[in-house]
Amino acid sequence: MTDSAMPLPIADSVPSLRAQIALWKKAGDTVALVPTMGALHEGHLALVRRAKAVCAKAVVSIFVNPTQFGPNEDYGRYPRQEAKDAELLASAGADLLYLPPVEAMYPRGFSTTITVDGVSKGLCGDFRPIHFAGVATVVAKLLLQGGPDRALFGEKDYQQLQVIKRLVIDLDIPVAIEGVPTVREADGLAMSSRNAYLSPAERAIAARLNVILGEVAGRAKGGEWPAQAAQWGRAELEKAGFTKIDYLEIRDAESLVALERLDRPARVLAAAWLGKTRLIDNRAVG
Ligand code: AMP
């Protein structure tokens, strides 16, 4: 925490969140929401700084959402460090931390799930079947609980960003969704709370993911068929030492449908494993 940072106010219930946001709106302030699962790093803080650049007030939620983790995923061991996160958020200029307990988000009898068809299918959707329904449901709840003017999400989770854009259009949720470019380590690895799981040897290999995606994008841009460039990239990931490749694909940048040729804005996206850690990354083609 910098010397000037004040302790961050915390809301831990829907009424307290709504009360604070209502006060700000009454005073004429615009409000941005940055949803996170905590274990914050510079990538998250870039979202907060952007939120403060475009809105008067920035609310950051930290909620490790159980419904977006599959039964064999890392919900139980997901890193939790709320006190440190609160300090980081205060120094990044956040105005309120929303920290709802699981029972506040999913009270007894909770029965509603939102599924976004189309963009949720394929890519991560093939390997994490309940994931995007969990994300769509919790993000819809956060947006309805807070009623922000704007909500910011990282391009790091590119498919998630497209799912959320579709969600707010389809459900007429009155909020502007903004994607923020991926923040990377010096060697190009996309910052992620899950990077903490990597051993030093895995960490060295991890940096290859972004490099290979860049090379795949270059090949496709240079005239290779998208499918051929993607196949080359999968072989390179294997050579680099990734232990399992869920996918590496070139897709339409918005709808995420498969592309036969590069005739519109495209994105190369991948998910690959190093031991027990699953990494994702993506970048624009061209
Ligand atoms: P998470 O806590 O992993 O759910 O992430 C919360 C938000 O931060 C999501 O919108 C992510 O896409 C975004 N985010 C995570 N890592 C990065 C990064 N390296 N650069 C930019 N945004 C990120």
Q: Which atom from ligand 1 is nearest to the alpha carbon of 181?
A: 21
The residue behind tokens 């599959």 is 70
- 188 lies in some domain: no
Residue 40 CA to ligand 1 center (angstroms) comes to: 9
- 3 lies in some domain: no
Residue 44 is a catalytic residue = yes
The residue behind tokens 């959402």 is 65
Taking CB atoms and a 6 Å cutoff, what residues make up the pocket around ligand 1? Answer: 36-37, 43-44, 46-47, 153-154, 156-157, 180, 182-183, 190-193
120 and 66 together in one domain: yes
Residue 160 CA to ligand 1 center (angstroms) comes to: 10
Residue 138 CA to ligand 1 center (angstroms) comes to: 15
User: Nearest 5°: CA angle at 106, between 104 and 107?
Assistant: 70
DSSP state of 181: P
- 18 lies in some domain: yes
Please give the residue range of the domain that contains residue 87: 10-180
Instruction: State the Cα–Cα distance between residues 192 and 118, nearest whole angstrom.
Output: 26
Q: Which residues contact 46 (CB under 8 A, 6 or more apart)?
A: 154, 180, 183
Q: What order do you get walking across the sheet with 266-274 strand by strand?
A: 244-252, 266-274, 277-285
The total domain count for the chain is 2
Tokens of 30: 């615009």
Instruction: State the Cα–Cα distance between residues 198 and 170, nearest whole angstrom.
Output: 38
Ligand 1: residue of 34, 37, 156 to mutate (most ligand atoms within 8 A of CB) is 156
CB contact at 8 A, 65 and 90: no
Q: Which atom from ligand 1 is nearest to the alpha carbon of 38?
A: 2
Tens-binned pLDDT, residue by residue, of the chain (286 aa): 444 557 899 999 999 999 999 999 999 999 999 999 999 999 999 999 999 999 999 999 999 999 999 999 999 999 999 999 999 999 999 999 999 999 999 999 999 999 999 999 999 999 999 999 999 999 999 999 999 999 999 999 999 999 999 999 999 999 999 999 999 999 999 999 999 999 999 999 999 999 999 999 999 999 999 999 999 999 999 999 999 999 999 999 999 999 999 999 999 999 999 999 999 999 999 7
51 and 145 together in one domain: yes
Residue 53 CA to ligand 1 center (angstroms) comes to: 18
Instruction: State the Cα–Cα distance between residues 97 and 135, nearest whole angstrom.
Output: 19
- 5 lies in some domain: no
Instruction: State the Cα–Cα distance between residues 51 and 58, nearest whole angstrom.
Output: 6
CB contact at 8 A, 147 and 21: yes
**Domain end among 180, 213, 241:** 180
- 1 lies in some domain: no
150 and 220 together in one domain: no
Catalytic residue among 37, 44, 67, 100: 44
